[in-house]
Amino acid sequence: MALRLRLRRGGPAGEAAGADVETLERRRLNLVLGLAVGLGLAPVLYLYLLLVLSSFSNTMLTSLPLPGSGVELTLRNWEMLFRGQVAPAAGKIYTTRDIVLIILNTLVVALGVTAVVVAASVMAGYAFSRLRFRWRRGLMEFIILLHAFPGVALIIAVYAVYVWSLGPVRELLGRDSLAAYSVFYTVLARASLEIPMSIWLMKGFFDRIPWEVEWSALIDGASRFTVWRRILLPQVKPGIAALAIFAFLAGWEDLIYVRVFLYPQVKTLATFIEESVAGLETAYLPVVAAAGTLYLIPTIVFFIATQRLLLEAMSGGVKG
């Protein structure tokens, strides 16, 4: 991502400053790096391209559709997807799936994760950056350690807690609420994987605001809370946006946690695609390709729209 960005900037800017020796050197370096990255990415990009094209074809593509290969471009897959005719049983009978509901489910999980991550890390980041308390240093290192643990490694323990909690929840809220509870638990569990890194990111953003600005507001008559809300928060907005996007995508894309904790009736795009592909022999793959493309859209949109911002967050945000 970094390279792509620099390459794009390097183009016209490099020409404008053509006489500058250093710039020329940089440009050449960028070119070499760009080519290398391009070559490395080519197979992956090719596969994504095939996926997107397949979603508009009458057959699953395994190579670029050359003229005369009998491949037709069509919108039928997308129509079928949104009509819910997506999981064909043997023959031509479709088990209908409510794709809109699935998208809504995915959104609920993604937005839930976003909300939890943003709330937790904005507050914790502020505390780690601005307050001096016992074990501050140790806690921060512990958080990094947490981040180093892969989510899959934790899943057994997290599952155990989940199972233990089911009993009391059923007692208290009744059997019907269990599906909702599973969504709630999934959101919390998935968010907790994102929170450690997000706290560090937020801390970095708060660290960049000089103390003097905060003191100045205190002298102007603000309370600590007013300072936080009216002086600090507006200045860390880019950081909040960045980690909100990361959190949203994490929730949107997640398969493992969603698969393990969500009630089987509650599908998200990830589990839906997984389910469709599971019956590989019978699945009508172009429709699955359409679902896959749909699944990719937020990623593509966010990364294109916010490349600059994310880059800034990654390079500027994370500091000791």
219 binds another protein (CB under 8 A): yes
Residue 97 in contact with residue 291, Cβ under 8 Å? no
Return the residues of window 234-293 that contact another protein according to CB under 8 A.
Answer: 234-235, 237
Return the residues of window 128-187 that contact another protein according to CB under 8 A.
Answer: none
Least distance from another protein to the Cβ atom of residue 227, Å = 10
User: What is the rounded CA–CA span in Å between residue 285 and residue 272?
Assistant: 13
Least distance from another protein to the Cβ atom of residue 132, Å = 11
Q: Is the CB of 95 or the CB of 216 nearer to another protein?
A: 216
> Quick one: 246 exposed, middle or buried, by C-beta within 10 A (0-12, 13-18, 19+)?
buried
Select the residue interacting with another protein from 115, 166, 178, 231 (CB under 8 A): 231
User: CA angle at residue 263 from 159 to 295, to 5 degrees?
Assistant: 100
Select the residue interacting with another protein from 2, 218, 255, 256 (CB under 8 A): 218
Residue 29 sits at φ, ψ, to 5 deg, of -60, -45
Select the residue interacting with another protein from 20, 72, 141, 220 (CB under 8 A): 220
> How does DSSP assign 6-60, residue by residue?
HHHHHHHHHHHTTT-HHHHHHHHHHHHHHHHHHHHHHHHHHHHHHHHHHTTBSS-
Q: Is the CB of 177 or the CB of 226 nearer to another protein?
A: 226
Span near another protein by CB under 8 A; candidates 81-89, 110-118, 209-217, 307-315: 209-217
Sign, CA dihedral 241-246-250-252, equals positive
Residue 110 in contact with residue 244, Cβ under 8 Å? no
Q: Is the CB of 222 or the CB of 260 nearer to another protein?
A: 222
Select the residue interacting with another protein from 113, 201, 217, 245 (CB under 8 A): 217
Residues touching another protein: how many (CB under 8 A)?
Answer: 16
Least distance from another protein to the Cβ atom of residue 118, Å = 19
Distance of CA 193 to the CA centre of its chain: 12
Select the residue interacting with another protein from 95, 96, 165, 216 (CB under 8 A): 216
Residue 60 in contact with residue 286, Cβ under 8 Å? yes
The footprint of another protein (CB under 8 A) covers: 210, 212-213, 215-222, 226, 231, 234-235, 237
